[in-house]
Amino acid sequence: MDSTKEALEIGQDQVVTVSADSVAIIDFDGVEVTDAKRYTIEWDAAAAQKGGYDSFMAKEIHEQAGAVADTLRGRLENGSLQLDEMDIDPSVLRSIDKIVVVACGTAANAGAVAKYAIEHWCRIPTEVELAHEFRYRDPVVTEKTLVVAISQSGETMDTLMAVRHAREQGAKVIALCNTRGSTIPREADAALYLHVGPEIAVASTKAYLGQIAACYLLGLFLAQTRGNLYPDEIAALMGDLEQIPDQIQQVLDSSAQVEQLARDMKDTTSVLFLGRHVGYPTAMEGALKLKEIAYIHAEGFAAGELKHGPIALVEEGQPVFVIVPSPNGRHSLHSKVVSNIQEVRARGARTLVIAEEGDDAVLPYADEVIRVPATRTLFAALLTVIPLQIFSCELATAKGLDVDQPRNLAKSVTVE
C-alpha cells in the first residue's frame, strides 16, 4: 500500500488495463465497464509486515484490542445503532422468522457465538450451519429467512455457494466480512465489514474477534429494528462492549503465564477443551487453533456432553482446558462448569482453567488458573479465547513449526 489507497471492485470475467494515468475495464464481451465501485483502503503497508513479532499470527493476536475497537467504532449515533453498510429495508428485517448463519472453520465458531446472542436479544430462532453442509442438503429457506454469511476473506467457495443457494430460495443475505471488494459481500444483499485490517497468518485470530464483535452488532441492530430491546438496554450493552478492547489488552499484557505453559507442554500429544454456552464455541476454536498450527490432536466439547462419551478419553495427566462462565451470570451455568472441572480432575486430568478474576470457586479444582477480566457472560467470548490463541501460537513456535503457513492449509479456500 505504498503507492495507492484507491481500489476498484472488479467483477467476474472482467479485464483491467492499467497504464500510468488511466484504468480501463471491459467485460467478457469487450464492453467498457463504467460503474466499478471505488473504495479507499484503510490500512497501510506496515499492517502487512511482522512489525518485530516472530510471526504474523503473534502480531495479529497482539493487534486484537485495536481490531475490535475498529469493528465497533462509530456504530452508535445519538443513542441509536447505525450499520451503514446495512442496505436491507427495516420492514424486511422485522418480518424474518428464522436466521441461518453459514460459515466454515473459525468463522463458523464465531457464528456459533452469534446464535447465543441473537436468540437471547432478538428471540429469533437461529441456526448455525457449516456452509458446505447447508448447501448440499435441502435446507428450509424462505423469503422470511435471513442468512448471515461470515467470512474473513469473502472468497471461501463453500460459503459463497451457500450464499448463492440461499438467494436462489429468496432469502436475504447479510455478509460479515473483512475484505472489501471480495465476492461474498458483493453477492450479498448487505454487508457489515469487520475493519480489523489484513489478516495474513493462515490461522485466523483477529478476524475471529472481529467476527464475534460484528455478530453482536448485528444482534443488537436487529433487536433495535424489531423493538426487542429498549434504547437504554442497547446503550448499556454497547457501553459494556466498548470496554472490551481495554479488557483484551489486559489479557494480552498478562500473556507470559500462558506462553510459559505452552513452552512447558510442547511435547504434549493430546489436549481437550471444554465449555458451555459461548464457552463451547470457544472450546471448539481453541482446539482448531492447536490442530492447525501445532499439529496436536485436540478436541473441543460442550462440557455437558462429557458424560455421554468423551470423558472416557480422560486418563492420568490428560491436559484439559476448561472455559468457565462468569460467576455473576446465571449461577446454574457457572456451577455446572465447576462440576465438570471436578469430574475430569477426579479422573486424573490436568485442569487448565480460564476463569474470571475473583472467581475463587475454581481454585480447589484447577491445576492452573488463567484469569480474564469480568464482563457479561455473552461478551466473555471475546476474552477467553485469547489465552487459547496464545497457547497454540507459542507451542507451535516452541516446536519450531511454521506458525504462519501450516502444512496442507491455505489462507483462503477457493475450491469446494
* Binding stretches for ligand M6R (CB under 6 A): 104-107, 151-153, 156, 159, 202-204, 292, 409, 412-413
Choose among 169, 179, 122: nearest CA to 147.
Answer: 169
Closest-CB residue for ligand M6R? 105
Cβ 207 to ligand M6R shortest distance, Å: 6
- Quote the least distance from Cβ 308 to ligand M6R, whole Å: 26
Choice between 57 and 96, CB closer to ligand M6R: 57
Under 8 Å CB-to-CB from 392, ≥6 apart: which residues?
A: 203, 262, 286, 289, 290, 293, 294
Minimum Å gap between C-beta 245 and ligand M6R is: 21
Q: Which is nearer to ligand M6R, 210 or 327 (CB)?
A: 210
Name beta bridge partners: 274. 301, 322
Shortest separation between residue 394's beta carbon and ligand M6R, angstroms: 16
Query: Which residue has 436475504 as its cell numbers?
Result: 172
Rounded to a whole number of angstroms, the minimum distance from the CB of residue 293 to ligand M6R is 8
Q: Which is nearer to ligand M6R, 105 or 219 (CB)?
A: 105
- Residues 163 and 347: their CA atoms lie apart, in Å, by 45
204: left (phi over 0), alpha (psi -120 to 50) or beta: beta
Task: Write down the least CB distance from residue 408 to ligand M6R, Å.
Answer: 11
Nearer to ligand M6R, 55 or 152 (CB): 152
CA distance 385 to 380: 9
Cell 466480512 -> residue: 177
Closer residue to ligand M6R (CB): 285 or 356: 285
Write down the least CB distance from residue 179 to ligand M6R, Å: 8
- Euclidean distance between CA atoms 130 and 124, whole angstroms: 19
Query: What is the smallest separation between the CB atom of 416 and ligand M6R, expressed in angstroms?
Result: 12
Nearer to ligand M6R, 109 or 255 (CB): 109
CA atoms of 213 and 221, how far apart (whole Å): 12
Nearer to ligand M6R, 287 or 383 (CB): 287
State the nearest-atom distance from the C-beta of 54 to ligand M6R, in Å. 18
Task: Determine how β-strand 368-372 pairs with β-strand 190-193.
Answer: unpaired
Nearest to ligand M6R of 338, 393 (CB atom): 393
Cell numbers representing residue 244 in the block:
472490551
**Residue 407 near residue 295, CB atoms below 8 Å:** yes
* Rounded distance between C-alpha atoms, residue 116 and residue 243, angstroms: 20
Query: Which CB sits closer to ligand M6R, 105 or 327?
Result: 105
CB of residue 216 vs ligand M6R: minimum separation in angstroms?
17
Q: Closer CB to ligand M6R, residue 342 or residue 412? A: 412
Q: What is the DSSP string of 178-232?
A: SSTT-HHHHHSSEEEE-------SSS-SHHHHHHHHHHHHHHHHHHHHHTSS-HH
Contacts with 17 (C-beta within 8 Å, 6 or more apart), sequence order: 23, 24, 25, 26
**Torsion angles phi and psi, residue 375, rounded to 5:** -155, 180
The dihedral built from the CA positions of residue 81, 86, 87 and 93, taken in this order, carries a sign that is: negative
User: Helices (H), strands (E): how many in the chain?
Assistant: 13, 16
